Structures are given as C-alpha cells and as structure tokens.
C-alpha cells in the first residue's frame, strides 16, 4: 500500500499515515511560473495499491487539479489500483439543476475523477447521498457521526441534549445522531417570504430549557447556523452549540460565530482549519483520521466498510 498526500490537508494525511503505521510516499507538488500544477511521484508505485488523500477545499480548483494530475501520474506509472480519498468533496452543493441553464457540477467533477484514473473513491459526509451515484467507480461515503457522538457524550449531559437540524434537508442526518444519543430531535424551518427579505425561522419541537446541538454536514459562511441559534435561544433553549463535519468557514465566518449566541462550533478536520479558526475560543476541531485510516485499511484488505458503523 502507498499513501500520497496532496497539499490541501497534509496534517490529516500525516495522522492517517500514523494510524496505518505507513510513511507518506515522497511526492513533489509544485507550480510552473504561470501557476500550472506539476506533480512527480518520487517512488516506485508499479503494482501498488495507492491512496491519494486530497480534499477539494479552498482553493478548490487548484486542489482538484492536484488530485487529477496526481492520479494521472500514478496511472501512467502502472499503479495496480488508485483510490481517491477525498475527505471533503467540493462542488457537492451543485448536485442538481436549480434553475434554467445551470450546471450539475458535482457530476462533472465525478466524471473528471473517474477519467483521470481513479478506480475507487473514498469520501466523507457528502452534501447529498445521491452524489455517490454520480461516480462510475465504487464509492464509499463515510460518516463522522460516531466521532461527533463520542464528543457530545464527553462534553454534554446527554439527558438534556436536543439535536437540531438547521434545515429540513438535514433531518435524516440529524435523526441518525439523535438515535445514537437516544435524545429528542427538533427542526428549524426556514422561510424566505420574498427575495431580499430576511428569513423567518420557525422551530419544530419543544426546545425550552434544553441544550440544543445544531448538526449539519458543512458550515460555509456561518449565517444559517447563527440565525438558527438565535431562533433557538428565543424559544427558550438554555444553550446552543453546533457540530459540523466540514468547517469551510469562509470569509468572516469565524468572527460571525464568535459574535453569535452559540457556545461553540465543533468541526472535523476534513478541511485543514485556518489559523483564525485554530486561535478562536469558539471553534473546536475533532480529527476523523482514525475513521478514514480504518476505511483505507479495510479497502486494502478487501474487508467491509459498512461494518465500521454497525
């Protein structure tokens, strides 16, 4: 087995390598003068089972090209099998036509990954489960829920916790965590009366006196979570926290969260946290390296992935 790390999230790749007790393969990623990506694999990979670890996070296009070019290099170097390990799959939010003359970018990126030489894809908490079907190669979609569950049990009183889905689309995800914790579930119903008018937030569920934990797959600008937290507090919640898998946290998201009524936001390290996030008292980071590392081990040994979450 060979592990290759792109430049998107080298600390996570190193933690995965430590879990598997395998060194990262010596690989060179650099740019030409015009910013074109150049990749060289400095070790023999002929006949090897190779895993390329690369999140397609900001800058998404650069990191995506690194992944594609690295897999092309491996394919031409006669690697036996190439698995694209994508902890955070970018462009996942564009998974359907939302209006006339718009793309389905998630499908386009899936095609690019398969065409560049990937024999298999391993990712985590896709924005929409059906994106698995966009790939023409076997795809495993891991979940960070067990990691989140353990952390919630360690830091909160499970008897007074209520899991909250910040929108209707995330109900299935939130219900899964609530079932694991054996606690109640609430839903934030967002409605925008008309363009340019602030959202009206309605809470489905009795949150008075409960510590509410917002659970979602990603946090980009932080606006949805901050607004939902404010609505929960207005309804009598004694405290509000958030757990998200992918901490995109673009722009002024961290500052927005610090100024909100949320106690904290807990993110996984599928995306390398920025210095701003690491230095914030409102942001805490959990690692999913063991989950991804164990999945890689099972793929290499042709063992079941689904049994990890039974």
Check residue 310 and give its pLDDT. Answer: 78
* Ramachandran sector of residue 91 (left: φ over 0; alpha: ψ -120 to 50; beta: rest): left
Check residue 199 and give its pLDDT. Answer: 75
* Residue ranges making up the domain that contains 137: 2-142+290-309
As a three-state string, the secondary structure of the chain is: CEEEECCCCHHHHHHHHHHHCCCECCEEEEECCCCCEEEEECCCCCCCEEEEECCCCCCHHHHHHHHHHHHHHHHHCCCCEEEEEECCCCCCCCCCCCCCCCCCHHHHHHHHHHHCCCCEEEEECCCCHHHHHHCCCCEEEECCHHHHHHHHHHHCCHHHEEEEECCHHHHHHHHHHHHHHCCEEEEEEEECCCCCCCCEEEEECCCCCCEEEEEEEEECCCHHHHHHHHHHHHCCCCEEEEEEEEECCCCCHHHHHHCCCCCCEEEEECCCCCHHHHCCCCEEEECCHHHHHHHHHHHHCCCCCHHHHC
9 and 137, same structural domain?
yes
Check residue 196 and give its pLDDT. Answer: 53
**Known binding-site residue numbers for D-ribose 5-phosphate:** 192, 216, 220-224
300 and 275, same structural domain?
no
256 and 125, same structural domain?
no
Taking only the tens of pLDDT, the chain with its 310 residues reads 999 999 999 999 999 999 999 999 999 999 999 999 999 999 999 999 999 999 999 999 999 999 999 999 999 999 999 999 999 999 999 999 988 999 999 999 999 999 999 999 999 999 998 999 999 999 999 999 999 999 999 999 989 999 999 988 899 999 999 999 999 999 999 876 665 555 767 999 999 999 999 999 999 999 999 999 999 999 999 999 999 999 999 999 999 999 999 999 999 999 999 999 999 999 999 999 999 999 999 999 999 999 998 7
135 and 7, same structural domain?
yes
110 and 149, same structural domain?
no
Q: In whole angstroms, what separates CA 277 from the centre of its chain?
A: 16
Check residue 197 and give its pLDDT. Answer: 57
Check residue 195 and give its pLDDT. Answer: 55
**Known binding-site residue numbers:** 34-36, 93-94, 127, 167, 192, 216, 220-224
Looking at the structure of the chain, the number of domains it has is 2
**Known binding-site residue numbers for ATP:** 34-36, 93-94
120 and 13, same structural domain?
yes
Check residue 153 and give its pLDDT. Answer: 96
Say which CATH number the domain at 51 has. 3.40.50.2020
64 and 19, same structural domain?
yes
Check residue 203 and give its pLDDT. Answer: 94
47 and 7, same structural domain?
yes
41 and 152, same structural domain?
no
C-alpha closest to that of 87 among 193, 18, 10: 10
Check residue 169 and give its pLDDT. Answer: 85
194 is annotated as an active-site residue: no
149 and 127, same structural domain?
no
| pTM of structure | 0.95
Check residue 286 and give its pLDDT. Answer: 98
Check residue 194 and give its pLDDT. Answer: 63
Check residue 24 and give its pLDDT. Answer: 98
94 and 152, same structural domain?
no
Catalytic one among 190, 233, 235, 290?
Answer: 190
Check residue 190 and give its pLDDT. Answer: 80
């Amino acid at each position: 087995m060979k592990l290759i790390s792109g430049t998107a999230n080298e600390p996570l790749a190193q933690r995965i390598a430590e879990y598997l007790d395998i060194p990262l393969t010596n690989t060179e990623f650099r740019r030409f003068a015009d910013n074109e990506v150049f990749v060289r694999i400095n070790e023999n990979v002929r006949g090897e089972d190779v895993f390329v670890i690369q999140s397609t996070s900001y800058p998404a296009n650069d990191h995506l090209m690194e992944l594609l070019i690295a897999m092309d290099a491996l394919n031409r170097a006669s690697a036996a099998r190439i698995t694209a390990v994508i902890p955070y799959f970018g462009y996942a939010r564009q998974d359907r036509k939302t209006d006339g003359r718009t793309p389905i970018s998630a499908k386009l990126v899936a095609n690019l990954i398969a065409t560049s030489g990937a024999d298999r894809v391993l990712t985590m908490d896709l924005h929409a489960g059906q994106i698995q079907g966009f790939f023409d190669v076997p795809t495993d979609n891991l979940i960070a829920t067990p990691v989140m569950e353990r952390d919630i049990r360690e830091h909160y009183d499970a008897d007074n916790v209520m899991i909250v889905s910040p929108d209707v689309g995330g109900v299935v995800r939130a219900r899964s965590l609530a079932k694991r914790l054996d606690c109640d579930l609430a839903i934030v119903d967002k409605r925008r009366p008309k363009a340019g008018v602030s959202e009206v937030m309605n809470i489905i569920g009795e949150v008075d006196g409960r510590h509410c934990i917002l659970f979602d797959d990603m946090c980009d600008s932080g606006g949805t979570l901050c607004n939902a937290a404010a609505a929960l507090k207005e309804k009598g919640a004694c405290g509000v926290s958030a757990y998200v898998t992918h901490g995109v946290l673009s722009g002024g998201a961290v500052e927005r969260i610090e100024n909100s009524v949320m106690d904290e936001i807990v993110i996984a390290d599928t995306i390398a946290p920025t210095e701003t996030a690491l230095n914030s008292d409102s942001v805490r980071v959990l690692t999913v390296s063991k989950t991804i590392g164990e999945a890689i081990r099972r793929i290499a040994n042709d063992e079941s992935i689904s049994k990890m979450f039974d």
